[in-house]
Amino acid sequence: MDQAERRQYLIRYLLSENPEYNDTAIPADEYGQKRLLRSLFNVRLPGAIGGDFLAVQDEYLREAIREKGITDASSLAPAAPGVYLWQGDITTLKCGAIVNAANSGMTGCYVPCLEAADSVGTDSIAFCCISTGVFGFPQKAAAEVAVRTVKEYKNETGSAIKVIFNVFKDEDLAIYRELLGQYQ
């Protein structure tokens, strides 16, 4: 099975699980199929699934990773002591934990996640630009909260966890570079 056949198999399987999707057409183009597959992955409720599906899914995802490439957190240079800045697709970053959470006020994300990661001995954790997308939290203010909170946590706890701020836009990269340049 090649990658296109795997993708179509996964789509057909997931569509067949729910009668609500009986009239859903599989797009002819690769981009449309990838969007549909991702949507089906995202809305599927937890539950048992066949071994054949898992085998095809594993091979599909392995190939997708091979095509995209992976950045290992250990290859990143620190932007500040124990803090790293990385621009790219978060799904291609290999690190101990990834937080891709969002809420309207940026409340309760950083410290609980850092505590949880530290409690299980995770060596690194990546945070995306939290709440700046659909929630519309101002980018600079969000970055200031993120950097300040991480700095305070690391100073108060002595945590050695590597914290990675993941950005996608050039504008966010510039904001974080500026703030992390002041990080002492």
> Is 3.40.50.300 the CATH classification of the domain at 71-181?
no
Where does residue 180 rank: exposed (0-12), middle (13-18), buried (19+ CB within 10 A)?
buried
pLDDT at 101: 62
Whole-number pLDDT of residue 181: 87
Give the residue carrying structure tokens 């990385």. 86
Structure tokens that stand for 48 in this block:
């048992």
Interatomic CA distance for residues 124 and 94, integer angstroms: 9
CA distance 128 to 83: 13
- Each domain of the chain, given as residue ranges in start order, spans 3-68, 71-181
Residue 108, pLDDT score: 62
Task: Note the pLDDT of residue 77.
Answer: 94
Q: Which residue has the tokens 């706890």?
A: 157
What is the chain's length? 184
Q: Which helix (H) or strand (E) holds 66?
A: helix 51-68
Residues 95/125, Cβ–Cβ less than 8 Å: yes
What is the structure's pLDDT at 109?
78
Structure tokens at 164: 């990675």
Q: Cα separation of 110 and 164, whole Å?
A: 12
**For the chain, what is the radius of gyration of the CA atoms?**
19
Each residue's pLDDT tens digit in the chain (184 positions)? Answer: 999 999 999 999 999 999 999 899 999 999 999 999 999 998 898 889 999 999 999 999 999 989 989 999 999 999 999 999 999 888 889 999 988 665 555 556 788 999 999 999 999 999 987 766 666 778 898 899 889 999 999 999 999 999 999 998 899 999 999 999 876 5
